[in-house]
Structure 1
């Protein structure tokens, strides 16, 4: 062990150590400068500014400057379709020739969305809900109804539309609202012998409210039920009731039958 420590103090050891350290430094420098030369670090072609251009113009510029490109699409409400909204790498970045530039372009086709159910909502709530679904409010009209600004009907392209129907994102939905000035009394409809779905429709559009549905007998087919009783019901002494009155129904299995006139 004493010989080893003595060797460490010799001139020969110090010379060998200096040579080893110097060799390591030279190798590191050679690798560093070789890698920089090989990759042409800091050199290349600057990426052009493509944001805001039409996709056709952007592709033409990239092709002329020797770049490859790949295109992805995204739908953005109220933005012109066919324009570049993102690019990677950013404009001004130096890249090698033939580098692939990735473009994000606004698509011309809006994705479909399901129309939300707005009928339980007020106008203000409906506007917020439509906005959350990427839809817009179109024209608004009013009709007689005791509930002011409540959504009574939704229309698309002039036609009634039901909740859940798929329509293009960004579409305008026309709304029919209650004016709060509905008649204080409405006619009591005669719903006996009517299909349940038809009875519900008459109640809703007659300014009334569907109340309790009582099922009579065994029900094996929920799509085929007929009203056998209602409360209140129309009589010679009672033909009208207050707007919004609840109409209770009793239904049984069966279909509407034609009753001959006497």
Structure 2
């Protein structure tokens, strides 16, 4: 558990209804922040938010500019400001390059890249001087170890998460040049046994790339010097660090939290 104190900070976590996002929201809350969960999964999101002291829930399709504007305004109105934005919402489609489905790739591009860009847009507009919050802050984009390794059947996902890395660095430079007072960093999570992680193991095995889902997981562990899969808490603690003053001179960076898999 993190010893970092985020008391008084206000955070918005996209894709926070379950999985990594829920863990990140819980860790930020445990560190003292008030957290607004944003997700398309209304029932699950409201249930998760109910367990966060001082937090809340807002329905958000990250590909919608108008919904982003409303979510940012709702967060400021309910929490009294916005200091931390975690662009975690994302989707993964498993397919071989020879079987590329353009519609599925477009969905990933819209959620993983456009959704992150719109998050940065409205985070900047809210946090910068003259914005509704106006006190600066920290934006944390969730990329993936897939941006740094060559793993079969996730070419489209890898491409979108590589794009998140580039967006992060340009955003940090723009924020600095324009005096926004907002740091922008990204995280490269390793494979975690969330619904998305299990789905990847099952689907790569289904494509004949591994003998079984367990063999797929074993292949990931074999590539990981730490010798295990990641845990939600590993990623959540890293988000708390990047949200805090402990990382005050970390900007435009990509932090691998993958047990060494992507080195």
- Shorter-chain TM range is under 0.3
If you compute each CA radius of gyration, which structure gives the higher value, 1 or 2?
A: 1
TM, length-normalised to structure 1: 0.21
